[in-house]
Amino acid sequence: MRFLVSLVVMLTLLPVLASAGERDFRLSAPGALVESGLLKYLLPRFSLKTQIRVEVVGGDGEVMLSPEGDGVPVFSSAGATWRMRLQGDHAGAARFAEWLTSEVGQRTLTSFEVDGAQSFTLPAEEAEVEVAASYEGNAAEGLKLSSVHCGRCHVVSEANRMNAIGSTPSFFVLRTMRDWDRRFQSFFALNPHPSFTQVADVTAPFPIDRPSPIAPVEITLDDLDAILAYVNQLEPADLGAPIQHQ
Ligand code: HEC
C-alpha cells in the first residue's frame, strides 16, 4: 500500500518535474560578472518565480551575457553595455529573456547593491535607436512620392532605374553620404531644385519673370518626412571608395 501511494505520488509529479527540467538552461557569463554577485542575486528570484533552474557556465549556454558582440542591451556597468544573446530556441531561455527585460526583472537588476551602491543600471539609450526613431514619416508613402516627384530625374528605386536621368545622382548614391539627411531636408534650397520646386508654407512663389521651366515639383513638409523615412531605409550603394560629390 505504501508503495502504491508513493507510486501514485511519483506518477502525478513526474510530468511536472519533466517539464520543469526541460525548461532548465545554461547561462554563459564571464568570470567578472559571476564574481560581481549579480547572478546569485538575480537567478534565485527568477527561479522562484518560474520554477526554471539556471546553471551558470563559462562556455556555451542557451543564454549568453557579454559586454562584447551583438545582442539585446540588458544592463550597463562601469561604462560597459552588457548584451544578451539566445542560442537556439529554448523555452526556459526565452522565458528568462522576457523576465530580464520586463519591468520586474529590471527592478530586480537595479535593486542589486554592492556596499550600499547601485552597481548595475539599465542600458544607456542607444544612439542608433534614437536616429531610427526620428524618421517618423511613412516610408511606403515616401516611395510613391519619390517615384512621382523625384523619379523624373533621380533613380529612386530599382523600379525606375531605367527612366531616370543618368547624370543625376541616384538616391542609393546620395544615401551613402554621411549628411544625406541634411541634404534631403533642405533639397529644395539646393541647386537645381529651387527653380522648379515648391514646398507648401516654406518656399516663396516662383518669381513672376522666372516661372518654373518644367512641370513644378509641389510637395508638403509631411511629404518630405515620408521621403526621408523612405530614403533612410534604402540600402546605400556600394561604391567601394568614398564618393566624390561636389
Ligand atoms: C528635374 C530634375 C530633378 C528633380 C525632379 C529632382 N531632382 Fe534632386 N537633383 C537633381 C540634380 C541634377 C541633382 C545634382 C545636383 C548637383 O549636385 O550638381 C540633384 C541633387 C539632389 C540632392 C543632393 C543635393 C546636394 O547638393 O547635396 C538631393 C538630396 C536631391 N536631389 C533630392 C531630391 C528630391 C527629394 C526630389 C524629389 C522631391 C528631387 N531631388 C527632385 C535633379 C532633380
Please name each of the domains of the chain with its CATH number. Answer: 21-124 (3.40.190.10), 130-232 (1.10.760)
* Mean pLDDT confidence for 15-43: 83
Check if the beta carbon of residue 198 is closer than 8 Å to that of residue 218. Answer: yes
Check if the beta carbon of residue 39 is closer than 8 Å to that of residue 29. Answer: yes
Q: Which residues form ligand 1's pocket by a CB distance below 6 Å?
A: 149-150, 152-154, 168-169, 174, 183-184, 187, 190-193, 196, 214, 217, 219, 227, 246
Q: Which three cell numbers stand for residue 179?
A: 549628411
* Mean pLDDT confidence for 105-116: 84
Report the pLDDT value the prediction gives residue 61, as an integer from 0 to 100. Answer: 94
> Which residue, judged by its Cα, is nearest atom 27 of ligand 1?
183
* Mean pLDDT confidence for 165-180: 89
196 dihedral zone (left: phi>0; alpha: psi -120 to 50; beta): alpha
Between the CA of 219 and the centroid of ligand 1 the distance, in Å, is 14
Check if the beta carbon of residue 174 is closer than 8 Å to that of residue 184. Answer: yes
How far is 61 from 206, CA to CA, in rounded Å?
A: 66
> Which residue, judged by its Cα, is nearest atom 22 of ligand 1?
187
Between the CA of 164 and the centroid of ligand 1 the distance, in Å, is 12
Chain centroid, CA 242 distance in Å: 26
The 10 Å CB-count burial string (b at 16+, else e) for 82-115 is: bbbbbeeebebbebbbebbbeeebbebbeebeee
Report the pLDDT value the prediction gives residue 80, as an integer from 0 to 100. Answer: 85
Q: Is the pTM of this model over 0.95?
A: no
What is the greatest pairwise CA distance in the chain?
109
Between the CA of 136 and the centroid of ligand 1 the distance, in Å, is 22
Q: Report residue 243's pLDDT band, with 50, 70 and 90 as the boundaries.
A: low
Query: In terms of C-beta density within 10 A (0-12 exposed, 13-18 middle, 19 or more buried), how is residue 171 classed?
Result: buried
